[in-house]
Amino acid sequence: MSQDTKDTNLNPSVIARETLKQLAILKISPTPDNYHKLYDQIAGNPENQISAITAKLLIELAKEFPRHTPTLLNCANSLEQAVNEKNWLKYKTALVKFATTENITINSTTLAVQAKVQSSQPDSGAIKQDNEISGYTGQLLDLLAQMLENIVAKQVNGETLAEEARSLASQVREIQNKPEMDQFIVHFQQFCVKLELSNQCEASLQQGLLKLLNLLMDSTAELLSEDQWIKKQLAKLKDTVSMPLDVQIIAQAEQYLKEIIQRQEIIKQSLGKARVTMRQMVTSLISNLEELSDATGEYQEKLEYYSEKINQVDEIEEINQLLAEIMQETNKVQKNIVNYRKDLVAARTEADAAQNQISLLETQLQEMGEKVHEDHLTGILNRRGFDNAYQREASCATRNNTPLCFALLDIDNFKLLNDTHGHHVGDNALCHLVEAVKETVRLEDVVSRYGGEEFAILLPNTALKEAIQTISRIRRYMTKKFFLHDNNRLLITFSGGVAQYHPGESQEDLFKRADGALYRAKKNGKNQIIAAD
């Protein structure tokens, strides 16, 4: 059909007559879909039009879309919003974005479908009578097949569900008419029910394992109630498993904890050796004291013997001989006492040294435990360490009625930096920001890596205006001191949101206010600091 048949100024009745006329001229079956398609073409309606059958399928897909991960949840919300607005272009965009995020490459099938659609326009001659699926619908169905085949099939647990997902992908590619579409919808709904049940079983299994782990940790803590360090480590582990788990964070924490455990084993071995040495010295000391006691007891018996002898003799020579023997025994005892005293002094010195070594090793062991609260890349506090610091500073601010501010910083365009220059450059950029923060903030301020490229700063005894000035100084420092990579200067900037703590406010609520300010800073062009409401 030529372009002159299209006129957006025609009224609906004229367009309807023209549509029926063209159906007859082109010898096209007068099905509802063919009628609506030709009607829209004649009326010059926008491309955001699909058949009722396709709309039904897309609505069902949005309802049954998996939601057990943040990425899937975001995509599901976008699809539902597009359905509510009846904006099918937006629906397509959401699916394409999701597929791109999961590294799915749209293959040549999509191009073939598009070419097929273009060749089937009325301008080129005819619309295929038996095909009730439009070109736009074909693209969406192909995206659905890609998602089932390359995402769902790879993420589900169990080969049975994976094989069913691949079978649905093959089925959706072969849809040519309404009965096939209806059959696919039924199979797809059944698959979604199975997928939901599988996710529920997996979640129940995880909860059961966590309960068993908590019981094990509780019983271990009871058995080792005298070991405070072990109890603290178990408490930290319980805090970790109670938080939402992320695979990457778990892997990173596991590697870091392995390094700490290795170092702790070395310290524990040295601590054990020091304690064994001290026990040996105590045993030796007791033995020396027993020998001294035996020697002095024997000396006392000899004195009594010589005393009786002296009373029994009258001759001076015999008395002198007895006195000489007494002096000899006395000198022997004195020498033994001097030797024992030297041994006691040496043992005391060694005991003091051993005790100092034990204290030093226990301090090092405690420091190793505290390393769990540090971020291994930047050396500042991690999320767990920040949570502990927040409880301390919030309590202090409430008790003393002093201001406390919370700043949330996020590096601008960090993903682009990683994609362009590599992750090692991204890591160096994070350290560059930490260096700028340390150069600017006070010793009493708490700095932590909150997650990824996001950093949190607690500023005790600081009002909102002063806190914004502090964070602004960090931003100016970053713009003046360029980040170097391969002798190339890269400008690293960040956006920030700052909120002042309200007495009694939870950490979650304070974070939400600062995060909202950070979002506005990003939306307004980045590289700026905004105060929270």
Q: Are residues 368 and 436 in the same domain?
A: no
Instruction: Give 293-317 pLDDT, tens digit per residue.
Output: 666 666 667 667 767 767 776 666 7
Instruction: Give 379-393 pLDDT, tens digit per residue.
Output: 898 888 888 889 889
Residue 222 lies in a domain: no
Distance, CA of 131 to CA of 54 (rounded, Å) = 13
Q: Are residues 402 and 348 in the same domain?
A: no
Cα-only R_g, the chain:
41
Residue 221 lies in a domain: no
Distance, CA of 484 to CA of 429 (rounded, Å) = 9
Total domain count, the chain: 3
18, 132, 374, 453: the catalytic one is: 453
Q: Are residues 396 and 291 in the same domain?
A: no
347-354: average pLDDT? 73
Domain hosting residue 323, numbered range: 268-372
Q: Are residues 387 and 509 in the same domain?
A: yes
User: What single letter denotes the amino acid at residue 177?
Assistant: N
Q: Are residues 272 and 344 in the same domain?
A: yes
432-456: average pLDDT? 91
Residue 427 contacts residue 435 (beta carbons within 8 Å): no
pLDDT band at 402 (very low <50, low <70, confident <90, very high): very high
| Cα dist from 408 to 263, 411, 441, 458, 518, whole Å | 33, 10, 14, 9, 7
Q: What is the pLDDT of residue 102?
A: 55
Q: How many CB atoms lie within 10 A of CB 178?
A: 16
Distance, CA of 533 to CA of 525 (rounded, Å) = 19
Partners of 530 in beta bridges: 497
169-192: average pLDDT? 79
Residue 462 contacts residue 403 (beta carbons within 8 Å): yes
Q: What does DSSP assign to residue 150?
A: I
Residue 319 lies in a domain: yes
pLDDT band at 524 (very low <50, low <70, confident <90, very high): very high
Residue 247 lies in a domain: no
Q: Are residues 348 and 423 in the same domain?
A: no
Domain termination site, one of 325, 351, 372: 372
453 is catalytic: yes
User: What single letter denotes the amino acid at residue 29?
Assistant: S
Q: Are residues 195 and 98 in the same domain?
A: yes
Q: Look over the chain and give the mean of its residue pLDDT values, rounded to a whole number.
A: 73
Q: Are residues 87 and 58 in the same domain?
A: yes
Instruction: Give 445-455 pLDDT, tens digit per residue.
Output: 999 998 888 99
Three-state DSSP class for residue 401? coil
Please give the helix or strand (H or E) that residue 271 lies within, else none: helix 247-312
Q: Which ranges of 102-177 does DSSP label H, i.e. alpha helix?
A: 108-119, 135-147, 153-155, 159-173
Q: Are residues 368 and 272 in the same domain?
A: yes
- Burial (CB < 10 A; 0-12, 13-18, 19+), residue 94, is buried
Q: Are residues 101 and 163 in the same domain?
A: yes
Domain termination site, one of 372, 402, 426: 372
| Cα dist from 281 to 146, 343, 350, 361, 363, whole Å | 74, 10, 8, 19, 23
Instruction: Give 94-152 pLDDT, tens digit per residue.
Output: 877 777 665 443 343 344 434 444 444 444 443 443 444 455 566 677 777 777 777 67
Q: What is the pLDDT of residue 124?
A: 42
* CATH code of 295's domain: 1.10.287
Instruction: Compute the Cα dihedral for 139, 140, 141, 146 and give only its sign.
Output: positive
Domain termination site, one of 372, 398, 432: 372
Angle (CA) 91-95-99 rounded to 5° is 170
Residue 277 lies in a domain: yes
Tokens of 282: 């105590």
Q: Are residues 307 and 395 in the same domain?
A: no
Instruction: Give 453-488 pLDDT, tens digit per residue.
Output: 899 999 999 999 999 999 999 999 888 887 887 778
Residue 527 lies in a domain: yes
Q: Are strands 404-411 and 454-460 parallel, antiparallel or unpaired?
A: antiparallel
Distance, CA of 139 to CA of 128 (rounded, Å) = 17
Residue 358 contacts residue 278 (beta carbons within 8 Å): yes
* CATH code of 484's domain: 3.30.70.270
Q: What is the pLDDT of residue 448?
A: 94
pLDDT over threshold 60, residue 159: yes
Residue 61 lies in a domain: yes
| Cα dist from 81 to 62, 68, 69, 301, whole Å | 9, 18, 18, 105
Max intra-chain CA distance, the chain: 162
Instruction: Give 205-250 pLDDT, tens digit per residue.
Output: 666 666 665 666 566 555 545 555 555 655 655 665 555 555 555 6
Q: pTM of the prediction?
A: 0.39
Cβ-Cβ contacts under 8 Å for 491 (sequence gap 6 or more): 478, 479, 482, 483
Cβ-Cβ contacts under 8 Å for 296 (sequence gap 6 or more): 333
pLDDT over threshold 70, residue 203: no
pLDDT band at 176 (very low <50, low <70, confident <90, very high): confident
Q: Are residues 391 and 366 in the same domain?
A: no
Residue 519 lies in a domain: yes
